[in-house]
Amino acid sequence: MDEVGYVSGQTRLFGIVGHPIAQVRSPEMVTAELVGRGLNAVLVPLHVLPQDFEPCLRSLKRLQNLDGLIFTTPFKQTALALADELTVQAREVGAINALACREDGTWIGDIFDGLGCVEAFRRRDYPLAGRAIMLIGAGGAGRAIAIAIAHVGPRALRIFDIEPERARRLADEVAAIDPTIEVSVGEPSVEGIDILLNASPVGMLSDPRMPIEATRLPAELIVFDAIVKPEPTKLLALARESGCRTVMGREMMRGQISKIVDFYQLQNGKRLTAG
Amino acid sequence: MDEVGYVSGQTRLFGIVGHPIAQVRSPEMVTAELVGRGLNAVLVPLHVLPQDFEPCLRSLKRLQNLDGLIFTTPFKQTALALADELTVQAREVGAINALACREDGTWIGDIFDGLGCVEAFRRRDYPLAGRAIMLIGAGGAGRAIAIAIAHVGPRALRIFDIEPERARRLADEVAAIDPTIEVSVGEPSVEGIDILLNASPVGMLSDPRMPIEATRLPAELIVFDAIVKPEPTKLLALARESGCRTVMGREMMRGQISKIVDFYQLQNGKRLTAG
């Protein structure tokens, strides 16, 4: 093979910025979506150390063929400052996971994590409305998920975070969006819960821990884990052993990917062309 | 297609830095060479404006999964300052076109342009030794080519550059490497010349000019053009019409690509693994 078709001098660049980076699935999934739409574009992993974030990102935004970025742990909140404009959702969540360069050179930020999770449940036909939900993790992904869910009418939402203040703050925001939701803050538990959501990094890659202490889960529970590697996570493996229905991080990603590429195509306009 | 195999969270990154960038062939050619060697790596175009070069490159070098860079017009000389160490050739030429990150995090620079040109002539079995050569362009590529050729014993080398001082300086350096070469500086001409080399950007992309004023060339002339787009260039098209033997920029690139990837594999060591 002398040449390969997928990258050339005209290729438009997208990147996912994170630390660590090896676990991310966006490079293959977003690139497949871009290429599948006939675009000459690729999304590559960009491993940025937290201490390098500000100067590195300031410079990356100056690359003339970079049209968009995705942010993952631990940068979803820090990345907010990179946007010249934010969507309503991004302002509500206080974090972004996608940044697009518009034709005038300004950057707009949005967040798709929460919508991706809600979309994954919709595709499975597992209703969130009227259900009692336990959410573990109130960081970037957790906040996005809680706020998206607050808009679809759950009966109750219990939130846990290793930083109790962060959980409390998110609970208040959910209550402000829909005061009819029974919002509470508490330790991870499946007591009285219909749906268990993990949006914490516990269990990622070779982390042997579980986000909840359990050796068995109630079979009627629906369990979701935002983590995409390993697949399944230890939590999802236990859920399957226990007979629970599960929703994988990859399903949340699939819902997101399509919406993120829509966002890029809309914002980048003419620069992002078929090729 | 849901996933594509060539880019993932573990993919090691390489980039070609230039302005403009659309004409470069390294993304497809180097990526094919990396993938062909079983490496999980990709080389992407990085379009950097000259005024952004210093801060952009300082930041790019901090990306933890970036293992190497290639430099093209107009950065081959500026890029010298990015290297912690230079090879003998790079010091001789005063420019680099490849930078590799070593396992200790330091960067080593080398230049492969000239060697690529010499290698292209060797593969074609067109001797440079004993021949009278006209070189147009004494910029980054021209310097590298002249110095590589100075080591293979041409009879004469005439050099032209739009900046006469640049041509004279290069002529002096060639004479210092091999005082038996008849070195001169003069306008582009094929008078008494066996081999015509274009290493100037004249004729690149939609530039309608020719690096030499001619409507026909002597059939016994061998003509080389370092430009890879368009292919053939106007100069090479005229050479073919005139019955000349030709060597294309792509052939110089092929010679270089293999050597550059050797260099990356040697310098990056364990970080660049099969994947």
Position B166 scores a pLDDT of 96
What number is the average pLDDT over the span B205-219?
95
Query: Count of CB atoms within 10 A of residue B161's CB?
Result: 22
Name the residue among B13, B27, B48 with its Cβ closest to that of A11: B27
Residues of A marked active site are found at 76
Q: Is B258 on the interface with A (CB under 8 A)?
A: no
Q: Determine the Cα–Cα distance for residues A204 and A136; give it in Å rounded to an integer.
A: 14
pLDDT digits (tens, 9 = 90+) for B43-68: 999 999 999 999 999 999 999 999 99
What interface predicted TM-score (ipTM) does this complex get? Answer: 0.78
Q: Please say if the pLDDT value at position B140 is more than 90.
A: no
Domains of chain A: 12-111+253-271 (3.40.50.10860), 114-249 (3.40.50.720)
Q: What is the mean pLDDT of residues B159-172?
A: 97
Residue A261 scores a pLDDT above 80: yes
Q: Residue A230: is the preceding peptide bond cis (ω within 30°)?
A: yes
Question: Does the beta-carbon distance from B8 to A1 stay under 8 Å?
Answer: no
The residue in chain B having the minimum alpha-carbon distance to the alpha carbon of residue A48 is: B63
| Mean pLDDT value of segment B163-175 | 97
At B11-22, the pLDDT tens digits run 999 999 999 999
Yes or no, beta carbons of A48 and B62 under 8 Å apart:
yes
Instruction: Tell whether B88 lies on the interface with A, counting CB pairs under 8 A.
Output: no
A contacts of B40 (beta carbons < 8 Å): none
Residues of B in contact with A58 (CB under 8 A): 55, 59
Instruction: Check CB contact under 8 Å for B36 and A11.
Output: no
Mean pLDDT estimate for chain A: 93
Cβ <8 Å between A63 and B47: yes
Q: Is the pLDDT of residue B271 over 90?
A: no
Q: Which tens digits make up the pLDDT trace of A9-22?
A: 999 999 999 999 99
Per-residue pLDDT tens over the stretch B91-106: 988 889 999 999 999 9
Residues from chain B contacting residue A24 (CB–CB below 8 Å): 9
Position A36 confidence tier, pLDDT thresholds 50, 70, 90: very high
pLDDT at position A2: 37
Could you tell me the CA-to-CA distances from A18 to A15, A23, A101, A229 in Å, in that order? 10, 10, 19, 14
Residue B255 CA from chain centroid, whole number: 10
